[in-house]
Every structure is written in structure tokens, then in C-alpha cells.
Amino acid sequence: MGLLFDMHVHTRRHSPCSEIDETQLIRQAIKAGLDGLVITEHSYQWPQEELAELLQAAGEPTFLLFSGAEIFSDQGDILVYGISPEAVSQFPPGDEALHIIRRVQKLGGVAVAAHPTRAGLSYDVRIRNLPFDAIETESCNLKPHEQRLAWRLAESLELPGITSSDAHTLENAGAYAVEVDGPIHSMAHLCNAIRLRAFRARGKLK
């Protein structure tokens, strides 16, 4: 059995739209049955020092806590993983989607289309020309018909689907997850698993 990860979570520390108290996040993730999670704030990536402080405060030093970011592009939101906080800060809001994806991949990271079929925040047909590594297909913020459309999109693009909570409230953290083949000890390992498609969408856990 692989490791359960929630790949898309926001906290109130760096995402004003979130209600999640970051000091309670790890305990909630463990309660939900997760082995790890990735904090993905809007246009901000937690540095390693902040993550280490959060783990120490939670008293869970072995929990797998990583960070990525959700970046607003000219076509839709993009989840980026495996690059530095400094690189994340260099993307201006509304930057060209293709530029973001290519830059992230050049730096050794991966790019995932966030909630691509969500009403009001969806991509248009140009998504077919974007070299994403995966598609977010299920989350707390995608309605059932939007999830079905996202799965169809992923299948038509021959890309794997990632199911993650996109949590903005504590009770939603860990609601959706992916099962990743281990061992996973770093974000680089997690990115490699995404590139190799060494994971499975587990969908809704609760």
C-alpha cells in the first residue's frame, strides 16, 4: 500500500481566503488518515524553515509535510510543485500559462491544472495545448458534474487525474487524496512520482 497525500491545501497564514489555522492542520491530516500533505498557498510557497516549525509545534516530526503553490495564470490556476519559494515569487499574477508551466518544468518541478472545470474558474479549449503533468479531477470545490467533466478532460488529454481537497476549512483537509508509491522523503520524490505516474487517485476519503 502506498502513502496517502492531500496535494492541495490552503491556510489562513498566507491565503486570506482560507479559514484553516495552520497549527491544527497536521493533527487534522493525521486524523483523516494521511501520511503527508502539501500546503499550496496562493502565489506563495512556505520555505522549509516554516514547515519545520509547524512540524515541531505539532509534535509530529515524521509526518511528510511539503509545500507548493497555486499560481493564477492568464488561463486558469496552476498548482506548482518542486521549485523554490523564490522561483514562485517571480511569477506575476496573470502570467502566461505556457510560460509558467515551461519554467516550472525547466526548474525540475511539475505543473497541475487546478480545478479546470470549476464554474467561473475553468480553463477553455486552449488547455489542450498546455503541457501539464496532471489534471486536478476531484476536490471539495468541484461539484459532481464538474468532477465528471474533469475526468473526461484528463482522459482526453491522456493525463493522470489528481484528487485533492483544495481545503479552505479545517474539516475538509484530507477529504480527498492520492495514493503515492513510496518511498517518499522529499518534494523531489513526490514530483518524480507524478512524472512517472506512480500514484493512484483515491478520490473522497470521507
| DSSP per residue, 135-176 | EEEE-TTS-HHHHHHHHHHHHHHT--EEE---BSSGGGTTSE
Binned at pLDDT 50, 70 and 90, residue 106 comes out as very high
Mean pLDDT in residue range 108-112: 98
* CA distance linking residue 38 with residue 115, whole number of Å: 16
- Amino acid 120: pLDDT: 84
Distances (CA, A) of 167 to 37, 78, 150, 164: 11, 16, 18, 8
Q: What is the mean pLDDT of the chain?
A: 96
Mean pLDDT in residue range 132-156: 97
Per-residue pLDDT at 206 exceeds 80: no
- Amino acid 158: pLDDT: 98
Per-residue pLDDT at 122 exceeds 90: no
User: Which cell numbers in the block locate residue 104?
Assistant: 516550472
Task: Decide: 29 and 173 in contact? Cβ < 8 Å.
Answer: yes
Per-residue pLDDT at 16 exceeds 80: yes
Per residue in 59-96, pLDDT (tens digit) is: 999 999 999 999 999 999 999 999 999 999 999 999 99
Mean pLDDT in residue range 7-12: 98
Which among 146, 107, 183 has a CA at the least distance from the CA of 135? 146
- Amino acid 116: pLDDT: 97
Per residue in 38-49, pLDDT (tens digit) is: 999 999 999 999
- Amino acid 1: pLDDT: 76
* CA distance linking residue 108 with residue 2, whole number of Å: 23
For the domain 3-204, what is the CATH code? Answer: 3.20.20.140
Per residue in 178-192, pLDDT (tens digit) is: 999 989 999 999 999
Name the pTM for this structure.
0.96
- Amino acid 13: pLDDT: 96
* CA distance linking residue 51 with residue 158, whole number of Å: 34
Mean pLDDT in residue range 175-180: 98
Cα 123–Cα 124–Cα 129 angle in degrees, nearest 5: 95
